[in-house]
Each structure stands twice: as C-alpha cells, then as structure tokens.
C-alpha cells in the first residue's frame, strides 16, 4: 500500500483547516499557499472530502471551507479511506467480503489480514487533534537563549 499525493495533500489540507478553525471559513487559496500545494489540485480533492461529509463549505465574500466536526473527531484512517479508497495491503481484503477462490487454502491470508488490522488500527488511532497537539508541543520545546 502506498499513500498517493492525493491522500497526503488531503491530510495536509484537513490539518490546515483544523489549525485555523478558530478563524471561521478558510479560503482555499490561503490553505494552498500555507501548505505549498496548488490551489487547482486542492480543488480536485475538495469534492471527495465533501462527498464523505468531512467539510463544510460556504460561498461568497469570506467564503471557504472548514471542518464539519471537531479535530478530535477525525482519524487519519477516515481521511485516507475517503481519498484513497481501501487501505488494504492486498486486493482480496479491499471489501468486507473476501471473494477470492483461494481464501480457504491461502497460507498467506492470515499475514495480510494481520497487516490490514495493524494499518487500520494505527491510522484510526491518530486524530487531527493528536497531530496538532504534537506539533504544538514540538514548537513549545524550541527555546533559544
């Protein structure tokens, strides 16, 4: 499994919105500039995030985007599954029902199931708020005398 640019940029956008949530709606051009991501590329990601009800949108003067929920209510797994689809390491685990004809005799299936569980548990155990908290702690420990 490899996380695409789309998934990585979606995560960066969501983190930017979480960090600036106190400022109301965030203009996409501002987030794009802060994250050094093309606004045009972010415009392609926004519909996916909207489809999964991860964002709120408003148009017009002072329009933009904001999180639909609090940062602690978003896991990395939620965001990456929305943008990447399945996070499964092999195709036979991409859906809830494994339709592989070899599954009953597959010696490696338990390995892939274990890896799938580790990936999902890890990504579902980290929230946007966790990342913001780590970033704030790292900044707070940067003293210069």
The pLDDT of residue 24 is 87
Q: Return the domain boundaries, the chain.
A: 5-140
C-alpha 80/C-alpha 100 separation (Å) is 25
Please list the residues that pair with 58 across neighbouring strands: 64
Residues in Cβ contact with 59 at an 8 Å cutoff, skipping those fewer than 6 apart: none
Please tell me the distance from the alpha carbon of residue 116 to that of residue 79, in angstroms, as a whole number: 17
Report whether 51 contacts 85 (CB < 8 A).
no
What the block records as the tokens of 143 is 């003293």
Is it the case that residue 144 has pLDDT exceeding 70? no
The pLDDT assigned to 141 comes to 65
| Residue 123 and residue 7 in contact, taking contact as beta carbons nearer than 8 Å | no
Stronger pLDDT, 40 or 98, i.e. the higher one: 40
Structural contact between residues 10 and 79, judged by C-beta atoms closer than 8 angstroms: yes
Is residue 96 over pLDDT 90? no
Instruction: Among 2.30.110.10, 3.90.180.10, 2.40.10.220, 1.10.10.10, name the CATH number for the domain at 5-140.
Output: 1.10.10.10
DSSP secondary structure code for residue 96 in this structure: S
Please tell me the distance from the alpha carbon of residue 84 to that of residue 80, in angstroms, as a whole number.
Answer: 5
pLDDT tens digits for range 120-134: 999 999 999 999 999
Give the CA count within 13 Å in the CB-facing half-sphere of 99. 4
Closest of 43, 63, 46, 42 to residue 55, by C-alpha: 46
Question: What number is the average pLDDT over the span 72-78?
Answer: 96
Query: Which residues make Cβ contacts (< 8 Å) with residue 124, sequence separation at least 6?
Result: 75, 76, 77, 78
Query: pLDDT per residue over 11-70, tens digit each?
Result: 999 999 999 988 889 999 999 999 999 999 999 999 999 999 999 998 888 789 999 999
Which residues share a beta bridge with 75? 127
């Amino acid at each position: 499994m490899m996380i695409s640019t789309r998934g990585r940029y979606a995560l960066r956008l969501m983190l930017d919105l979480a960090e600036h949530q106190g400022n109301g709606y965030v203009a996409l051009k501002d987030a794009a500039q802060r994250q050094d991501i093309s606004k045009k590329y972010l415009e392609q990601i926004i519909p996916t995030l909207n489809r999964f009800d991860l964002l709120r949108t408003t148009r017009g003067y002072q329009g933009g985007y904001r999180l639909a929920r609090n940062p602690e209510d978003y896991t990395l797994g939620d965001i990456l599954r929305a943008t990447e689809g399945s996070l499964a390491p092999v195709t036979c685990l991409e859906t809830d029902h494994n339709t592989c004809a070899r599954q009953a005799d597959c010696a490696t299936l338990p390995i892939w199931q274990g890896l799938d569980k580790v990936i999902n548990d890890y990504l579902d155990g980290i929230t946007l708020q966790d990342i913001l908290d780590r970033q704030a702690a790292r900044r707070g420990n940067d003293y210069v005398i």
